Amino acid sequence: MVGIPENELNLLVFVLLTCGLCVVYSSRVEKALFWWTLQTFAVSFLVLVQGLYSRELEVIIVGALLLIGKVGIIPVLLGRVLRDSKTEWVGEIYLKRTSSLVVAGALTLIAYEVTKPLMALPLPGFRNGLAVGIALIFYGLLLMMVRKVAIVQVLGILLIDNGIFLAGFFLTQGMPLLVEMGSMFDILVGIVIIVILSRQMLENYNSLNVDHMRSLKG
């Protein structure tokens, strides 16, 4: 299959992984959001470039949609909630940022380990991409686990989404347009709902700390 050159692909995968690690390492929510936006931009760039190289209109459309929906709308929505709630720090619990970075590194190794059986992929870069996709899913879960501000939880979900998208992309070399659009609207609607819920939370608890939700336990 005609695609982006090996070197460019590896570079982009490197950017994706670094952005993911930076999200985990951030101690300010704003920074984390920024790194995530950059990562998503890299994802859409990857898709666009792939589309251009292989001359497939569908893939280019997917990339464009990603660029508008995820890089355009979501950061704006989240940024607004962030400003309204005056949240600054990510609220580290269980693990400090340094330790979480170490754990994230370990998770990356695990991701490479579990993708070993898929080494038969056409390009080594694809294999790297798949492992990084799985690693991003892990990062997302880790982030949701060790941070207590609701926006960071949302970022965790978004990281997972990116990870799933990447994994799907590298495994199938571009999913059908319809599936891509469906999954993107899914995440968009999800984010809208989460933003509404976060505002609700702000009204009730005056903060985005999810620890407050413990009081809902029966």
* Binding site residues, another protein, CB under 8 A: 93-94, 107, 110, 113-114, 116-117, 134, 137-138, 141-142, 144-146, 148, 153, 156, 210-211, 213-214, 216-217
Q: Which CB atom, from 11 or from 110, has the smaller least distance to another protein?
A: 110
As beta bridge partners, residue 89 has 28
**Closer Cβ to another protein, 60 or 141, answer by number:** 141
| Beta pairing partners, 28 | 89
Sign, CA dihedral 184-189-190-195, equals positive
Which has the closest alpha carbon to 31: 88, 104, 94?
A: 88
Provide the minimum distance between the beta carbon of 193 and another protein in the complex, in angstroms, as a whole number.
16
Q: Closer to another protein at the Cβ: 81 or 144?
A: 144
**Would you give the DSSP letter of residue 88?**
-
173: its two tokens: 């070399």
Residue 108 C-beta-side C-alpha neighbours within 13 Å: 17
Among residues 77 and 110, whose Cβ is nearest to another protein? Answer: 110
What are the residues whose beta carbons fall under 8 Å from the beta carbon of 31, sequence distance 6 or more? Answer: 22
Least Å distance between CB 136 and another protein? 12
In whole angstroms, the minimum distance from the beta carbon of 201 to another protein comes to 12
CB of 83 to another protein, least distance (A): 24
